[in-house]
Chains A and B, each alone.
Chain A
Amino acid sequence: MITISGVHKRFGLHEVLRGIDLQIAAGEVCCVLGPSGSGKSTLLRCVNHLEKINAGQITVDGHLIGYRQKGDKLYEMREKEIAAQRRDIGMVFQRFNLFPHLTALENIMEGPSQVLGRSRAECKTKALELLTRVGLGDRGGAYPSQLSGGQQQRVAIARALAMEPKVMLFDEPTSALDPELVGEVLDVMRDLARSGMTMMVVTHEIGFAREVGDSLVFMDGGVIVEAGAPREVLANPQHERTKAFLSKVL
């Protein structure tokens, strides 16, 4: 479903990603671990073209992201085409990024009604369904500032799901939450994984990676240091860097 091959990304002179190869199959939950500054969030943001890559290519569901290929030449896509590609890729942010001037329900309706052009009634039914699914069926009229962090993040997940995406990207979805509220968000993500959604999850939640993840990738210094089945990597890391990292967080 997601194919990342030979991806490099530079910010100025600093090379953040130095040749990343990664494949995520349909229905797979891939957790990306690593210290801060290892490039894991940047990699995630490259998948829906919030960041442009400098080399390599990324495809989602067989479509090259951000570029059109004709012969052996790449053409930069127009803004409209990129927007169209992003409809199929849901994203959840560390800081929720809910729209503060809209209610929870309106936040979820915004995408389908503005981008897919669906009727308001249809969007509203769908949004209520999704709110119930994330356990907030009665909070539709609340503004983001009236919701706890965990509730906000669950609304944000519902907002992304409203576009009926083929894959979901999670950028440290629980890092900005009080420890008590982490569980409710992980529960929603676990249900989503069970329903067969393809997910790429940048996280520090080792427990979630072990229990829900189908694969685990450990990144450091812009490269993938180690990858494999979560239980194996976590129980028996091969690489020194992975061992050092895990010994601190486990």
Chain B
Amino acid sequence: MSERKIPGGVRPMKVVPVRHPWRWVAVVVLAVLAAMFVHLLVTNAGFDWPFMVDNAFRPPVIDGLLRGTLAGTAIAMTIGVVVGIVVAVMRLSDNPVLSGAAWLFTWVFRAMPRVVLIVLFANLGFLWKRLEFGLPFDRQLGALFGFDNFEARLFGFDTATLLTGFVAGMLALGLSEAAYMAEIVRAGIQSVDEGQTEAAAALGMPKGRILRRIVLPQAMRVIVPPTGNETIAMLKDTSLLAYAPVIFELYYQLKAVGTASFNVFPMLVATALYYLFIASLLMVVQSFLERKFGAGQRRNQGAFWRFGGNR
């Protein structure tokens, strides 16, 4: 670089930057590995790319993507966020019964694998053929007063129609998510300075309104980034719906195509690419939201992002 003059006549000093020889070694090693990988993709007939392209966009697959995977993610996350906020507020309540119940909920649903929850919920019909709502102990009370078969039921459903595989799956995934969201929301609420609550209380605001108007808006900064991660995780976990079983779902449909045509591997690759693509879209949305809620809070994002110069 030629010598430049800085305004004011100060000559910039000449500095030899620190050399990083090992970076070049790393580049060479990774370049060889990358070449090997590309070679594998191109030359191995097992991938059968034309077959994959022909079959990855069949109508049932697209239907599964929209109804099972995308809608499922949205519904389960909605249940998770709403129930999660309620559980977090209960957990922070002064009432020991409420906070105990919230702890119990979190404990149970965090401890159970999602696959197990989905299969369990899908089989609840084993316990009750019909779900009915009404006075508890109606038969027993009736018997006490001399009526046989006294029933005071308001309404009911056949379990099979109510708890279809999809509904059971949504409940299982949503409640499991709620347990995680409750912890995230709780951390968010607790991250807001106590002085904020005191200042609002000194103005004469009641507790509920302090939470809604003052604390939650500030807690969002802490709540939003992990919620993005949870959404991406949920996208992947909708593949577990196949165990409910739900057939209109991406993973199930792609695997079915592979099994039916005795060409399983290309469809598995297609599955991986589908999830990679949608998760990437979600990551873009996530980074946008983080920027919106985390203004003034940005930290070092890692050397990769600074490659093109400091931002």
Contact = CB atoms under 8 A, between A and B. Distances in A.
B132 interface: no
A48 B202 contact: yes
A163 B204 contact: yes
A212 B207 CA distance: 36
Given A100-B218, A145-B296, A114 B205 contact: yes
A101 B217 contact: yes
Interface SS of chain B? helix
B201 A83 contact: yes
Contact of A90 (B202, B206, B218): B202
Interface string B186-229: 00000001011011111111110100011001100000000000
Given A101-B218, A114-B209, A89 B199 contact: no
A79 B218 contact: no
B287 to A, nearest CB: 21
Contact of B198 (A97, A110, A114, A145): A97
Contacts, number: 61
A93 interface: yes
A95 B202 contact: no
Interface in A129-180: 145, 156, 159-160, 163
A83 B196 contact: no
A115 interface: yes
A85 B218 CA distance: 26
Contacts of B209: 114
Interface in A67-104: 79-80, 83-87, 89-91, 93, 95, 97-101
Given A86-B202, A87-B204, A163-B203, 6 more contacts: A83-B201, A87-B203, A93-B199, A99-B196, A110-B200, A160-B202
Interface of B: 193, 195-196, 198-207, 209, 213-214, 217-218, 296
14 contacts: A50-B198, A84-B204, A85-B204, A86-B203, A87-B203, A97-B193, A99-B214, A101-B217, A111-B204, A111-B205, A114-B213, A115-B203, A160-B202, A160-B203
